[in-house]
Chains A and B, each alone.
Chain A
Amino acid sequence: MTRWSRITVLAMTLLVPSLDALGELRFPPPEFESGYQFPQTTAPGAKAVFHEYIDSAVLLAALLLATYLILRRRSRRAIFALMLLALVYFGFWRDGCICPIGAIQNVTLTISDGSYAIPITAGIFFVLPLVFTLFVGRIFCGAVCPLGAIQDAVLLHPVAVPRWLESGLRLMAYTYLGLAVLFAAIGNSFVICRYDPFIGFFRLSGNWNILIIGTSVLLIGLFIGRPYCRFLCPYGILLRQMSRLSKWRVTITPNECVKCRLCEGACPFGAIREPTGDWPRGEYKVAKRRLALLLLLLPILVAAGGWGGYALKERLARVHPKVRTAERVYLEDTGKVEGTTNASDAFRATGRTREDLYQDATAIRGRFAVGGALLGGFLGLVAGGKLVALSVRRRRSEYEADRAGCFACGRCYQYCPKERERRKKNKETVAGH
């Protein structure tokens, strides 16, 4: 009887399609005589979703509060306090995930892959700070972003970075943004999250690479204010451009600039622009010719960038694990390398044909050829645009915060004598009542 029931159990298990089809149960589960009951395999549930809605609500509240503090209260101290709170909540409490910087990739993947279900928080975190920026500038950077906050908190002795160098280094951020979008769309990987420098600190754990990158960024950040934000942050690029169009923004002086130059060195991020006079006569003609030349150079740069990106397609495509596996399997098959890797073993274990794999890899390479060319063209355009911007002179009659570069941290307020006057008056009116 036992044997028969064992055979039935075996037959049943063989018929269950979810089991490996190879007749896997070498040792049929025993028929216990002691009344032993099979324990259930536990399946602890996923973390509650309500946290995500709280995150979104906290983000909205923090942005609203930051708007009030930076534009109405004009208080650096209050903004610093809010910034630390945001660092504790979004950074240490919520482990630095999800953040708007990484959400770029989720949104990209949503557009490129119809089957991907984007978490609602990723969408909200991507959109909200940008919407606020369109109205009031980059208040997200100054008061809410945990990555900005951790750098802002360690800023010890800011050293000025020359304008041309800052502008040049910012090309890294454009490149990072372009690569992140490309890899999220067709490379099957989220590089922004993988190389988030501070995630190791937020989680108080992580591998050596992350900790070394994070520590170096913070060490640089002791002397160069917010290096990640200025030279690397891909989301910062979007914020910059939208901040140029903002309806309201940080103004150093509450009413009128007396050009006392006191605020000149106030900004550790080099975002205060001095008033400009008229072009010197001789220089004007030279600058005009230079501008014409640079405008002619622009299409050449775009074409060169596009060609460069196209030429890099094979290297770029290696980000995709399938391409890496295909290359490895090819090398092994042709005897160019010894031994196998985990990935090539895993591929062989699936029983798929090589032609199938090579076809997939070729298709991915083709996508990277187009994507690489577009990315290269975009970077050429950005580089050309930067050169053009150097030859254009904006007329400014007073000291003002650079629309694109200002993080809305509020440091410059206290340097303005007009602001001090205003605060004194405020205090008196409060005392008078």
Chain B
Amino acid sequence: MADNGNSMNRRKFLREGLWGACLGGLGAAAGLTAARNNRGNMVWQIDPNICIQCGNCATYCVLERSAVKAVQAYALCGYCDLCTGYLVPEPTALDTSAENALCPTGAIKRTYVEDPYYEYTIDEALCNGCGKCVKGCKAFGNGSLFLQVRHDRCLNCNECSIAAACPSGAYKRVPADHPYLFKGVERTQ
């Protein structure tokens, strides 16, 4: 009987000890979180200088329409008439006809500015982030078009599906107060 009482005590002691250890461990995790959080939250972004426009951004995002869009750095753009980001290689004419458009969704708007310059603007509602225009612009133009995660759409998933599929490692976490990696000089925010 006495033996039984002893073992019960031992079990209770073990249990209480483990309980305290678990609580301590959780406290340590909480403390670590608090200590590491002071640098602010992180969001996903594409480094345009590493991006190779493989096309994964268009297909891997958990959103039906990818949160990645092409953006235009106007200050870098050459406003070319023969825009290799807008027109297919060897176009039949330098115009807005569909058979000459490189963009599969017709998301790039070509607007006449003055001779011989044209402005190219991305309609983000149509852009699917495939990066075809980016590739064209980078290959033969100034590289003023590049892909960026648009934070009004991005869900900021814990494990970004595109980041997991990115072959070049262009995806990275950046501080939320500087959420864009823009090309060129005009850095906003």
| Residue A342 CB within 8 A of the other chain | yes
Complex contacts, B142 vs chain A, CB 8 Å: 24-27, 29
What residue of chain B has the Cβ atom nearest to residue A114's Cβ?
Answer: B36
Contact of A29 among B41, B71, B72, B76 (CB under 8 A): B76
B151 contacts A by Cβ under 8 Å: yes
Interchain CB contact under 8 A, B140 and A127 = no
By the criterion CB–CB under 8 Å, are B33 and A107 in contact? yes
Determine if B125 is an interface residue (Cβ-Cβ < 8 Å): no
Residue of B nearest to A107 (CB): B29
Are A205 and B62 in contact, CB atoms less than 8 angstroms apart? yes
Majority secondary structure of chain B interface residues (helix, strand, loop or mixed)? loop
In angstroms, how far is the closest chain B Cβ from the Cβ of A329?
12
Is A362 positioned at the interface, with any CB of B under 8 Å from its CB?
no
A19, A27, A47: the one contacting B151 at CB < 8 Å is: A47
CA gap between A321 and B49 in the complex, in Å: 19
Q: Is A131 part of the contact surface with B, judged by Cβ < 8 Å? A: yes
In Å, the complex CA distance between A140 and B177 comes to 33
Instruction: Provide the bound-state CA to CA distance between A33 and B183, in Å.
Output: 25
Interface residues on A, range: 35 or more
Judge whether A346 and B52 touch: CB under 8 Å: yes
Chain B residues with Cβ below 8 Å from A107 are: 29, 32-33
| Residues in A neighbouring B73, C-beta threshold 8 A | 41
B59 nearest CB neighbor, chain A only? A207
A70-111 vs B, CB cutoff 8 Å, 1 = contact: the mask equals 000000000000000000000000010110001101110011
Question: Which of A117-125, A166-174, A224-232, A286-294 sits within the interface?
Answer: A117-125
Q: Cβ of A40 and Cβ of B188 under 8 Å apart?
A: yes
A39 and B30 in contact, given A46-B43, A102-B158 (Cβ under 8 angstroms): no
A433 lies within 8 A of chain B by Cβ: no
- Give the chain B neighbours of A39 by CB distance below 8 A: 74, 119, 121
Bound Cα distance from A19 to B121, whole angstroms: 21
Which residue, A34, A47, A345, A349, has most C-beta atoms of chain B within 10 A?
A47
B50–A123 CB distance below 8 A = no
Known: A134-B22, A346-B168. A46 touches B179 (CB 8 A): yes
Any A CB within 8 A of the CB of B157: yes
Say whether A193 faces chain B, with CB atoms less than 8 Å apart: yes
Judge if B113 is at the interface, Cβ distance under 8 Å.
yes
- The reply to whether B26 and A131 contact each other, CB–CB distance below 8 Å, is yes
A16 touches B185 (CB 8 A): yes
A308 to chain B, nearest CB (A): 26
Apart from A18-B183, A38-B186: 20 A-B pairs, beta carbons within 8 A: A19-B183, A29-B78, A41-B72, A46-B41, A95-B155, A97-B158, A107-B29, A110-B32, A116-B36, A118-B37, A123-B37, A191-B159, A242-B22, A245-B22, A321-B169, A342-B52, A342-B56, A342-B167, A345-B52, A350-B50
- Tell me the B residues contacting A by CB distance below 8 Å: 15, 18-19, 22-23, 26, 29-30, 32-34, 36-37, 39-43, 49-50, 52, 54, 56, 59-60, 62-64, 71-80, 113-114, 117, 119, 121, 140-143, 150-152, 154-159, 161, 164, 166-170, 176, 179-180, 182-186, 188-189
* In the complex with contacts A206-B62, A342-B54, A119-B155 CB distance below 8 A: no
Question: Which residues in A have their C-beta under 8 angstroms from that of B33?
Answer: 107, 110, 118, 120, 122-124, 126-127
| Per-position 1/0 for A287-309, Cβ under 8 A of B | 00000000000000000000000
Q: Which of B41, B159, B179, B188 contacts A117 (CB 8 A)?
A: B41
Instruction: List 10 A-B pairs, minimum CB-CB distance, nearest first.
Output: A123-B33, A27-B78, A346-B168, A190-B159, A193-B159, A343-B167, A44-B152, A342-B167, A117-B39, A46-B151
Most buried by A among B121, B157, B164: B157
- Is A30 touching B159 in the complex (CB atoms < 8 A)? no
Q: Which A-chain residue is minimally distant from B146 (CB atoms)?
A: A41
Can you list 16 contacts pairing A with B, beta carbon distance less than 8 Å? Answer: A25-B78, A29-B76, A30-B78, A38-B74, A38-B186, A39-B121, A95-B155, A97-B156, A102-B158, A120-B41, A127-B26, A130-B26, A190-B159, A194-B164, A245-B19, A350-B50
